């Protein structure tokens, strides 16, 4: 039972940065924009949050700094893709490379000393309940905030007029523009929100999940977040479940190494990425399910008629 509780808690924690990044990218893609720079935005969020902590700023301010760094990076993408109408695939890949370089540059002087990680919440009485306490009431605030973001985003997309407008822009920007909605402004806001969420995911990695600076510490999690959106067929609940699935794969490979399972460590480390490829192959076979929630104008540039 102790092992099960440890795996469950580890899964939830490992999934948290994926939840932030994938939910943010989901909103971006719902607006009809494809930003492949999630990895770069997460790295910038991680670097700026870590820098803020070692500079002596409070932890909430450091996490906010990480989120704002991701949003600032996404603004660069927005200018290229939405204002100058450059190819969204190329602009996103450029952002991923740019973010990696900026984070490596900032991290040169961080050193290898760990920082004080984000503290976990201890709920009186409830945290001491056997099994349930460690599984529900002993996480840090960002874990609960990620769940809250999932609930708010789901409500926003499917229960509000603004969410309907966002989805309309993603389906047919020409129709939305003809009705009178500011398509480019809406897409800019979606892109900024996606960058903010990716930055928060990166900040969580550097100040809570692994409170020690390591260059390229995201280790491909930004690309997994992109794959999660497709895996989830652009549905928030499936994003949450998919993040937990891939978080579980990460924890299982760590537990496997700790238990000394006679499998090469490199193969165990590759499990989350192999799972990503396998899931995408399976999902791609069902084109009807993919098309059901696929934003029709995804990655297609739009210029308002003058």
Instruction: Give per-residue pLDDT as tens, 90-100.
Output: 999 999 999 99
Distance separating alpha carbons of residues 171 and 174, to the nearest angstrom: 9
pLDDT-derived band at 1 (thresholds 50, 70, 90) equals low
What are 128-160's pLDDT values in tens digits?
788 788 788 889 999 999 999 999 999 999 999
Contact call for residues 133 and 126 (beta carbons, < 8 A)? yes
In this predicted structure, the answer to whether residue 231 has a pLDDT above a threshold of 90 is no
Per-residue pLDDT, 261: 65
CATH number of the domain within which 134 lies: 1.10.3470
Q: Confirm whether 301 is domain-assigned.
A: no
Residue-level length of the chain = 306
What is the pLDDT at residue 127? 78
- Residue 144's contacts (CB-CB under 8 Å, 6 or more residues apart) are 121
Q: Which of 5-14, 98-107, 197-206, 272-281 has the weakest average pLDDT?
A: 272-281
What phi and psi, each to the nearest 5 degrees, are found at residue 84? -95, -5
pLDDT value, residue 256:
65
pLDDT in tens, 164-179: 999 999 999 999 999 9
Q: Is 184 among the domain residues?
A: yes
Residue 306 within any structural domain of the chain: no
Query: How far is the C-alpha of 132 from the C-alpha of 82, rounded, in Å?
Result: 47
What's the pLDDT at 142? 96
Whether 112 is in a domain gets the answer yes
User: pLDDT-based confidence at 121, cuts 50/70/90?
Assistant: confident
Give the chain's domain count: 1
Query: What pLDDT is attached to residue 257?
Result: 61
- For the segment 96-112, the average pLDDT, to the nearest whole number, is 91
The stretch 184-201 carries a mean pLDDT of 98
| 2 pLDDT above the threshold of 90 | no
Domain of 66 in residue numbering reads as 2-293
Looking at residue 45, what is its pLDDT? Answer: 97
pLDDT at 29: 97
- Residue 132, pLDDT score: 83
Phi, psi (degrees; rounded to nearest 5) at 213: -75, 125
Distance between CA atoms of 23 and 67, rounded to whole angstroms?
A: 14
Side-chain-side CA neighbours of 63 within 13 Å: the count stands at 22
> Can you tell me the distance from the alpha carbon of 73 to that of 222, in angstroms, rounded to the nearest whole number?
14
- Per-residue confidence (pLDDT) for residue 31, from 0 to 100: 97
Distance between CA atoms of 188 and 182, rounded to whole angstroms? 10
d(CA 172, CA 183): 10
Structure-block tokens of residue 220:
């491909």
Asked if residue 93 belongs to a domain, the reply is yes
For residue 6, tell me if it sits in a domain. Answer: yes
- Domain assignment present for residue 302? The answer is no
Checking if the pLDDT of 263 tops 70, the result is no
Q: Is the pLDDT of residue 116 over 70?
A: yes
Whether 14 is in a domain gets the answer yes
Share of the chain above pLDDT 70, in %: 94
DSSP-derived letter for residue 59 is: H
Q: Averaged over 279-303, what is the pLDDT?
A: 80
**Chain Cα centroid distance, residue 82:** 22
CB-based contact 111:104 (threshold 8 Å):
no
Name the one residue in this structure whose structure tokens are 């791609």.
Answer: 284
Task: Give the distance, in angstroms, between the CA of residue 136 and the centroid of all CA atoms in the same chain.
Answer: 22
């Amino acid at each position: 039972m102790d092992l099960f509780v440890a795996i469950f808690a580890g899964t939830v924690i490992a999934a948290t940065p994926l939840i932030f990044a994938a939910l943010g990218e989901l909103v971006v893609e719902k607006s009809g924009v494809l930003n492949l720079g999630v990895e770069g935005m997460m790295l910038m969020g991680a670097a700026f949050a870590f820098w803020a902590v070692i500079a002596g700023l409070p932890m909430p301010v450091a996490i906010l700094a990480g989120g704002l760094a991701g949003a600032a990076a996404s603004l660069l993408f927005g200018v290229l893709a939405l204002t100058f109408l450059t190819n969204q695939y190329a602009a996103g890949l450029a952002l991923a490379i740019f973010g990696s370089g900026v984070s490596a540059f900032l991290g040169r002087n961080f050193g290898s000393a760990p920082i004080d990680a984000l503290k976990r919440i201890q709920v009186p009485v409830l945290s001491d309940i056997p099994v349930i306490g460690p599984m529900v009431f002993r996480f840090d605030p960002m874990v609960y905030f990620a769940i809250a973001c999932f609930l708010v985003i789901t409500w926003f997309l499917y229960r509000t007029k603004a969410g309907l407008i966002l989805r309309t822009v993603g389906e047919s920007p020409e129709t939305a523009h003809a009705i009178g909605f500011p398509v480019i402004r809406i897409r800019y806001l979606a892109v900024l929100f996606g960058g903010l969420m990716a930055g928060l995911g990166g900040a969580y990695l550097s100040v809570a999940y692994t409170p020690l600076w390591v260059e390229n510490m995201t280790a491909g999690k930004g690309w997994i977040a992109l794959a999660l959106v497709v895996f989830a067929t652009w549905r928030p609940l499936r994003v949450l479940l998919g993040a937990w699935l891939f978080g579980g794969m990460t924890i299982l490979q760590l537990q496997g190494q700790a238990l000394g399972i006679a499998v090469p460590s490199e193969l165990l480390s590759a499990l989350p990425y192999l799972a990503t490829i396998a899931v995408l192959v399976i999902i791609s076979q069902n084109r009807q399910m993919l098309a059901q929630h696929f934003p029709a104008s995804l990655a297609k540039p739009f210029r308002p008629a003058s």
